[in-house]
Amino acid sequence: MAKIDAGQAVIEALGAEGVEYIFGIVGTTTNTMVTALHGRSDIRFLDSRHEEGAAFMAYGYTRASGKPAVCMTTSGPGTINLMTGVALAYKGRAPVVVIAGDVPRADLDRDGAQSFDLVNIFKPVTYLARHVHKTERIPEALHDAFRTALGAKRGPAFVNIPRDLLEGQTIDRELAKPAAYRPVDLRIPGDPEAIRRAAEVLLQAERPLLLAGGGVVDSGATGEAVALAELLGMALVPSYGHNDAVPNSHALFVGTPGNRGAPEALAAINRADAILALGSRLNQHSTHWDYSTLGRGARIVQVNVDAQEVGRNYPVAVGIVGDAKAVAQQLREELGKRKQPARTAWRAEIAALKARRKARLDAESRLTGDPMMPHLVYPELRRALPRDCMVTLDAGVAPGLSYDRLEFELPGTFFNYSGHGGLGMGYAVGLGTKLGRPDRPAISIQGDGGFLYTSQEINTAVRHRIALVSIVLNNGCHGAEKAQQQRHFGARYVGVDLVNPRFDRLAEVYGANGWYVTRPQDIAETVTTALKLDGPSVIEIPVAEHFPLPAKLPGAAGH
């Protein structure tokens, strides 16, 4: 049987999986693999300016495209620098495969240069972390990694390959196709009896609510979720961080929950007597893991592809293990056999909550201040952003206003920190989303503190012509921490006030487009112009440091 170089075999295995980009920075232990990309057009090496940025880009790419992403980095700190971004993939259930080129086996366990126990370092933030001991087992390790990363519960995997297993080594040329080593159809239906019991719970409810989780987006179940809600007159609420799971313009949509979401959505959850948690883990931000938001008497039907998540945070009336789209179709068919109650009163209550939210947001247009209140940015963005625009939010207070103030109509258009909470991910993740869906416009929104975490990747965006529009809301401080120090620590400010460069000028130094916008009425036109350009842009908007938050509604959680 013909042989090929071990490094080339790695690249051929990635090509078989349809990998389009390898994110990383070159190193001496990975050159055997990286140089095998020379002259290829099907797989590109996307070199970042820091490995953390590479991992964030890989996350954005796979979440936007639905395809697996690969990071490839060299020994020691080169791979360890991926940790924060891989942890985001772990929290965000994203199939990111890390291939680390390690030091030679002879240098392991001897405190050699750049020698660390990488496998055990990455075990807590991956679904699989393994070390390759023999050259001929490299394909097997990669198959394990993709089988794990692309399983029913998606997530990151880590493969560590010592340098001496690659250099001067060969592998059999014949490599297996993905269908030979992993399932390629994971549309798992729910148990028929559980479907029948769930239908009974939903039919008996007077105030049913559909909480649409990340599984709705991942399985392409938006249409099925909306059809169920319309059939039963259910309030539509996306779980926190998944605003794009259902169209926000729908008559049954109330808002998104969470401490940065809509109090009206919290009130709807509190009032519901039955909740269909479709593709949802009932996460902390949506429910606070107590009964301050979710009513204690509500009967829960929870659907999740991961059996470990069903009933984990709340007792369920019916638990269903299965794909959100498949289960929603089953429920729709079962419920279609039965007469549906009108639920006129509940529909009127939903309409009243929607009207209250609209009035609250409309009132924000009258806020004044110099610099402007950050609330004034969002009506302008709603006017400027195309329907299919992908939006990535960094962590932070000012970007966090987006959860309640931007509108999403299509799945796969909203990206955030997924419970990870790492400041600075927004810009690099946004770059990844544009690479994953180059046919769609893309923006990222971040504060001044978070933007400087990964702003060196403007250079990456310029070199690779990634047309992301980045909006920096500059309030000159770490907002959440400063507010906490003010409210609870006697205004003893330490480490919260920032001195920044002009971000528009920083962008121009890198070779990107830069704007500095101080008036709300100029925002929409600037964003529209930037989105038309073939290259990266940065729009800096100075905003007020202190601003009002929405009042709590009766029955809503005070978080």
- What is the enclosing helix (H) or strand (E) of 321? strand 318-321
Q: pLDDT class for 174, splitting at 50, 70, 90?
A: confident
Neighbour tally for 559: CB within 10 Å: 16
Is pLDDT of 559 > 50? no
Closest CA to 62 of 429, 418, 444, 453: 429
User: E strands, 440-559, where?
Assistant: 442-447, 469-474, 513-516, 537-542
- Cα 2 versus chain centre, distance: 42
CA Rg value for the chain? 24
105 touches 162 (CB < 8 A) = yes
Strands 469-474 and 274-278 come out as unpaired
- Residue 554 has what pLDDT? 42
Give the Cα separation of 239 and 269 in Å (integer).
11
Give the Cα separation of 139 and 221 in Å (integer).
34
* Interval 323-349 mean pLDDT: 95
Mean pLDDT of the chain: 94
- Sheet hosting strand 235-238, strand order edge to edge: 235-238, 208-212, 274-278, 299-304, 318-321
Give the Cα separation of 128 and 125 in Å (integer).
9
Q: What are phi and psi of 469, to 5 degrees?
A: -100, 120
CA distances from 117 to 111, 155, 374 (A): 10, 21, 45
* Interval 478-485 mean pLDDT: 89
**Residue linked to tokens 């808002």:** 255
H helices within 71-221, ranges in order? Answer: 77-80, 83-91, 118-122, 138-149, 192-204, 214-218
* Interval 198-204 mean pLDDT: 97
Q: pLDDT class for 288, splitting at 50, 70, 90?
A: confident
- What is the enclosing helix (H) or strand (E) of 449? helix 448-451
Neighbour tally for 365: CB within 10 Å: 11
- Residue 555 has what pLDDT? 45
> Is residue 139 reached through a cis peptide bond, with omega within 30 degrees of 0 on the bond before it?
no
For a pLDDT cut of 70, what percent of the chain falls above it?
97
- Residue 550 has what pLDDT? 52
Is pLDDT of 553 > 70? no
- Residue 115 has what pLDDT? 83
- Residue 552 has what pLDDT? 52
**Residue linked to tokens 């971040």:** 446
* Structure token pair of residue 2: 């013909």
- Residue 483 has what pLDDT? 87
- Residue 155 has what pLDDT? 97
pLDDT in tens, 348-407: 999 999 999 999 999 999 999 999 999 999 999 999 999 999 999 999 888 999 999 999
- Read off the DSSP letter of residue 339: P
* Cβ-Cβ contacts under 8 Å for 24 (sequence gap 6 or more): 30, 45, 46, 47, 48, 51, 54, 71, 72, 73
* Structure token pair of residue 515: 């704007």
Give the Cα separation of 77 and 330 in Å (integer).
49
pLDDT in tens, 228-263: 999 999 999 999 999 999 999 999 999 999 888 999
